[in-house]
């Protein structure tokens, strides 16, 4: 039995929900995709506009394109207070629980987007207490808070 099911999400569109209690550290799902070269990422129009949410940076030469129906893991939403994380070894990626997850909880992980000029394109609706309102990786979120307090002072 799978540890998750696909359901309409409270965060965004569809999401994955735990079908049973999942212990911290457990592998929940493999992230499957197709290996593509950085050159393809740069030239294929598929990866234009939106910052390819399903694109994983593997190393200096390759990315993993996860935008395929068979890749259920692509539906996992970002959260500012996630209960999973992506791990990887070589060209393999998988999603592991980083907290004990209760049956019925939505799975989430930190998408790890950097803080750059178009961060406002990616609004976060995770609803966590610490939500910064945008999908930006944990290590860079202080920049958003700083930008905010700066604009309040003006
Ligand atoms: Zn959030």
- The residue extents of the domains of the chain are 4-111
Distance from residue 136's CA to the centre of ligand 1 (Å): 9
Distance from residue 46's CA to the centre of ligand 1 (Å): 26
Please give the Cα distance from 107 to 26 (Å, whole number).
13
Residue 2 vs residue 151, higher pLDDT: 2
Please give the Cα distance from 30 to 15 (Å, whole number).
15
> Phi/psi at 21 (nearest 5 deg)?
-65, 135
Answer yes or no: is pLDDT of 153 > 60.
Answer: no
3-state secondary structure of 47: helix
Please give the Cα distance from 3 to 152 (Å, whole number).
44
C-beta neighbour count of 11 within 10 angstroms: 17
Residue 99 vs residue 65, higher pLDDT: 99
Output DSSP code: residue 125: -
Query: Could you tell me the pLDDT band of residue 120, with boundaries at 50, 70 and 90?
Result: confident
Distance from residue 142's CA to the centre of ligand 1 (Å): 13
79-88, 91-100, 145-154: lowest mean pLDDT where? 145-154
4-111: CATH class = mainly beta
- For residue range 31-85, list pLDDT tens digits in order: 999 999 989 888 888 777 655 568 888 888 888 999 899 999 999 999 999 999 9
Strand intervals (E) in 19-83: 27-31, 34-37, 55-57, 62-65, 77-78
For position 3, what pLDDT does the model report? 96
> Phi/psi at 38 (nearest 5 deg)?
-60, -35
Strand intervals (E) in 47-97: 55-57, 62-65, 77-78, 84-89, 92-97
Token duo for residue 34: 């197709």
Please give the Cα distance from 94 to 81 (Å, whole number).
19
Distance from residue 138's CA to the centre of ligand 1 (Å): 10
Distance from residue 39's CA to the centre of ligand 1 (Å): 32
């Amino acid at each position: 039995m799978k540890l998750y099911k696909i359901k309409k999400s409270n965060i965004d569109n569809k999401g994955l929900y735990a079908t049973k209690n999942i212990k911290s550290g457990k592998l929940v799902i493999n992230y499957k995709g197709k290996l593509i070269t950085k050159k393809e990422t740069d030239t294929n129009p598929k990866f234009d506009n939106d910052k390819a949410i399903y694109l994983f940076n593997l190393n200096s030469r390759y990315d993993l394109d996860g935008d395929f129906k068979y890749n259920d893991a692509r539906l996992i939403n970002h959260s500012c207070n996630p209960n999973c994380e992506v791990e990887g070894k070589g060209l393999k990626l998988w999603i592991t629980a980083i907290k004990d997850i209760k049956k019925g909880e939505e799975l989430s992980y930190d998408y790890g987007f950097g803080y750059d000029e178009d961060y406002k394109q990616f609004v976060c609706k995770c609803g966590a207490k610490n939500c910064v309102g945008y999908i930006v990786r944990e290590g860079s979120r202080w920049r958003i808070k700083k930008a905010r307090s700066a604009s309040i002072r003006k």
